[in-house]
Structure 1
Amino acid sequence: MTTVNAGPSEIDDLVQANDGLPRYFRIDTTGAKKSTDDLMKIALTDATAKALLIKLTLLGYPLYYNTENESRFIRSDRIRHHWPAIKEGTYSVTDEDVVYTFEKPASERIDKIIVIFSPINSTPRLSRYFWPSFSKLMKFVPPNTAILRIADVGGVKGAFYMDTTAQPRNGDAVHNLVAGIISEHSLENSDVVLFGASKGGTGAAYHGLRGGWKFVATDPILSDEWYEQNDRDYHFTTGGIFPRSKQEVFADLIPRASRQLSTADARSVVITSDRSPQYSCVVETFRPLSDRLTILSSTNPEINKHPDVAPKTIYAQVMSINSLLLGMSLPDNFATIP
């Protein structure tokens, strides 16, 4: 147990006194301005608390529970033994600690697979790493389609399905799960569509480009700068939690994908809106792949910020997923949608 006012060095002292990394850390938040808040929320406005949170994250401790005046952290290798949904068998976990579910169609025959990456959430529970997206999607996809959902364990509010300092092979582990499921069911890459919105869109685009899989990414976050500069580092991407920024990752990935993919390859889809602060970054990042992507931009006047894009474009997301699954034509390059 330590307090919200402790510095990172106190964590080092506790580790040394324990002769190694303990299973848990408990942080007394009594000294915070609002002690009932969890440490993630406190850290948005308290520099000392943020340094403490970053230290715990760098050591591989996610927040798993918050109660009045206390936030509790668990060593990441203990998650599989602690998360009730894993213990009950509702969730599965790979040997590389990737948490997932696999929903088979009623027919039990699998011809296609949709891979869903979770959006961001700030709930002070492990559930924030596996926040549901399109929970009823099975009703709206072609027959014999299975759905693989992948959790995003890592970082403070997620690893964005990429590497973190504490989990330097996280990207490989997620890739291996997708590739393994495809191989297990004797499918081709063309039988798979990756989907995600916001943080999930980051994951869908990253792994789609990396693995050569079709994807539908809704307003993906492709740069850390906006949130670091305009929203108090809301995603906690500073402090060394990530070895590289998103803009660095995609700056390397896009040219590589451009060389490897041909115009004959199936198109992927990016859905955004010029009413979102992510719009310029999304369009500019994907510009080198404009002849291999369809960008759909919504003009919906009810979109006023980034979180509005996904719920206001569900129709386009379902259309895009099904079009890619069925090999149907999509608009070339760029199109405006309602």
Structure 2
Amino acid sequence: MMKLSLKSTTAKHLLLALTNLGYSLYYNTTDESRFVRHDRIVHHWPAVKDGIFEASEDGIVHQFEVPSSGEIERLVVIMSPINSKPRLIRYFRPSFATLMKYVPRNTAILRIADVGGVKGAFYLNTSFLTDNSTRIQNLIRSTIDRHGIDSRNVVLFGASKGGTGALFHGLTGNLKFVAVDPILSDAWYIENENDYHFTTGGVFPQTKQQVFAKLVEQSVTSPPTETAESVIVTSSRSPQYDYTSKIIEPLRSQLTIFNSDNPQIMKHPDVAPKTIYSQVLAINNLLLDLPLPKGEHPIP
């Protein structure tokens, strides 16, 4: 249905209409697409029914990984990139599945699904899920409070769409974040990829440009008492670089920005797999409260 919608205006209008009524694509084959109503997703998702994933009181699907020690002092919150698998797992792509091996002991991992929209809600509000971001914040905060974790020992992490969520919820909740080539603007995909992420048609009440321009302005004009250290990993070889640089410019002096010039980075999806070493470094530095240099810095 999504592939057809990129070619057929009629199909796209139908897909967006269903999305705005709260239906999500949960299964497809070469000649069939099935949708499920949002309030039925947790009852329809096999991994939720089997207890592999959980649903919060607000209905946010997630998975919590406890360290082998059983003791929890730190927390990494992972948000998923886009996934095109033809099942509900496309809303919950396992990102950095082996991260537990590379973080300090006593570090738990909270993975949060991104249900909503067509390709996902980008962990933001949609026109149908008007309080989606608040419900996600509630899950993060309740997890921190339940385990008695100091907020300074919490890092939000994500790449691409997950980076959008990590940056948004990091700034919103004054929590540390590592955002890998986050998508902070819809413009490139609308202008060059025929609205590949399906962000037009009223699916979102605001464009990402509007959301993040306002959020950055609030962060600058009403800064918290103690600003959380945070990192953006990006590449000037990515088409998202110019959009991101413009939007976060007022916060540049408060952030650490790693800019990779790796010649193997040819497009946006290349950034995350080609900069894993810097992501691990950034996550662990923030978890251990070790200082990182502010401003933008070149990396291989």
TM-score normalised according to structure 2 size: 0.98
Q: 1:278 to 1:266 in 2, by over 3 A?
A: same
Task: Give the structure with higher Rg (CA).
Answer: 1
Distance (whole Å) between structure 2 residues aligned to residue 229 and residue 263 of structure 1: 40
2:129 partner letter: Q
Residue of structure 2 equivalent to 1:23: none
Contiguous gaps of at least 5 residues in structure 1: 1-38
Structure 1 residue 146 and structure 2 residue 108: aligned?
yes
Cα deviation, residue 113, structure 1: 0.1
Q: 1:266 to 1:211 in 2, by over 3 A?
A: closer
Residue of structure 2 equivalent to 1:209: 171
Distance (whole Å) between structure 2 residues aligned to residue 260 and residue 105 of structure 1: 36
Select the residue among 76, 84, 88 that pairs with 2:46.
84
Residue of structure 2 equivalent to 1:100: 62
Cα deviation, residue 187, structure 1: 1.7
Structure 1 residue 324 and structure 2 residue 286: aligned?
yes
Distance (whole Å) between structure 1 residues aligned to residue 227 and residue 33 of structure 2: 48
Contiguous gaps of at least 5 residues in structure 2: none
Residue of structure 1 equivalent to 2:263: 301
Select the residue among 159, 162, 174 that pairs with 1:197.
159
Select the residue among 72, 84, 91 that pairs with 1:122.
84
The CA deviation string for residues 106-142 of structure 1, in whole angstroms up to 9 with x for no partner, is 1111000000000011222211100010000000000
Distance (whole Å) between structure 1 residues aligned to residue 198 and residue 136 of structure 2: 21
TM-score normalised according to structure 1 size: 0.87
1:119 partner letter: P
How many residues of Structure 1 are paired with residues of Structure 2 in the alignment?
A: 300
Alignment of 1:1-338 (within 5 A): 39-261=1-223, 265-338=227-300
What SS does the aligned partner of 2:76 have? strand
Cα deviation, residue 263, structure 1: 9.0
Bigger relative CO (Cα 8 Å, ≥ 6 apart) = 2
Distance (whole Å) between structure 1 residues aligned to residue 242 and residue 225 of structure 2: 24
Distance (whole Å) between structure 1 residues aligned to residue 175 and residue 226 of structure 2: 13
CA contact (8 A) 1:263 1:291 kept: no
Q: 1:262 to 1:180 in 2, by over 3 A?
A: closer
Compute the RMSD of aligned alpha carbons. Answer: 1.1
Judge which range, 251-260 or 206-215, deviates more: 251-260
**What is the identity percentage for the equivalent residue pairs of Structure 1 and Structure 2?**
57
Distance (whole Å) between structure 1 residues aligned to residue 207 and residue 119 of structure 2: 15
CA contact (8 A) 2:174 2:224 kept: no
Q: 1:282 to 1:108 in 2, by over 3 A?
A: same
CA contact (8 A) 1:112 1:145 kept: yes
Distance (whole Å) between structure 2 residues aligned to residue 52 and residue 167 of structure 1: 19
What SS does the aligned partner of 1:62 have? strand
